[in-house]
């Protein structure tokens, strides 16, 4: 038996200790907001937070999260940084197909929670592991800056999300 604390709730689970957290979330608990992409820690689609740190759920065994606080996309909007990120995502209409976006938002929220005024380099470092096949990277960066209140003067097309960037 493993006790996992997910989004503020305790779950007593009879699962193998080495079951990936992604499996636990999606298949055992039915929390499908966290996505399966590569299953190898390479794409970022499955990003969750463990004690506030962005973590790839597909390569993290359930036992590694026992006694820690797990946060998923379903609850990130309840955190101050996550709320700002989600509002900016909506304002700039960031997603295209949407598949990678849970992971993008989780990584961006962790960045903003630890760094209130991230630079371009900070954003690049934090988001480098989140792959988007639709190429929403420009809007992702603009939304992180908007959430942080960092000026984006000089790139008004990015800020306003004009048709050319949708
Ligand atoms: S599904 Fe976990 S990193 Fe790709
Ligand atoms: S929005 Fe389609 S993969 Fe990122």
| Among candidate residues 129, 10, 2, the one with its CA nearest the CA of residue 63 | 2
Nearest to 74 by CA among 96, 91, 57: 57
Span 81-111, pLDDT tens digits: 999 999 999 999 999 999 999 999 999 999 9
Tokens of 111: 């960045």
Q: Cα of 23 to ligand 1 centre, how many Å?
A: 12
Query: Which tens digits make up the pLDDT trace of 17-39?
Result: 999 999 999 999 999 999 999 99
Domain ranges for the chain, please list them: 2-71, 77-163
Distance (angstroms) between ligand 1 centre and the Cα of 130 equals 9
DSSP-derived 3-state class of residue 127: helix
Q: May I ask the CATH architecture of the domain 77-163?
A: Orthogonal Bundle (1.10)
- Say if 2-71 and 77-163 have the same CATH topology: no
Superfamily (CATH H level) for 2-71: Beta-grasp domain (3.10.20.30)
Ligand 2 centroid – CA 136 distance (Å): 7
Q: pTM (2 decimals)? A: 0.91
pLDDT at res. 150: 86
Ligand 2 pocket, Cβ-based, cut-off 6 angstroms: 95-101, 132-134, 136
């Amino acid at each position: 038996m493993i006790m996992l604390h997910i989004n503020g709730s305790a779950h007593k689970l009879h699962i193998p200790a080495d079951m990936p957290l992604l499996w636990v979330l999606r298949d055992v608990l039915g929390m499908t907001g966290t996505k399966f992409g590569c299953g190898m820690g390479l794409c970022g689609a499955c990003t969750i937070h463990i004690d506030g740190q962005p973590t790839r759920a597909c390569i993290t065994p359930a036992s590694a999260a026992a006694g820690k606080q797990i946060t998923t996309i379903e609850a990130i909007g309840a955190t101050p940084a996550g709320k700002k990120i989600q509002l900016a995502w909506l304002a700039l209409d960031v997603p295209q197909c949407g598949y990678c976006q849970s992971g993008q938002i989780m990584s961006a929220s962790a960045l903003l929670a630890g760094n209130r005024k991230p630079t371009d380099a900070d954003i690049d470092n934090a988001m480098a592991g989140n792959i988007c096949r639709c190429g929403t990277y420009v809007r992702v960066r603009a939304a992180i800056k908007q959430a942080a209140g960092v000026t984006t003067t000089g790139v008004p097309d990015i800020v306003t999300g004009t048709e050319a960037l949708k």
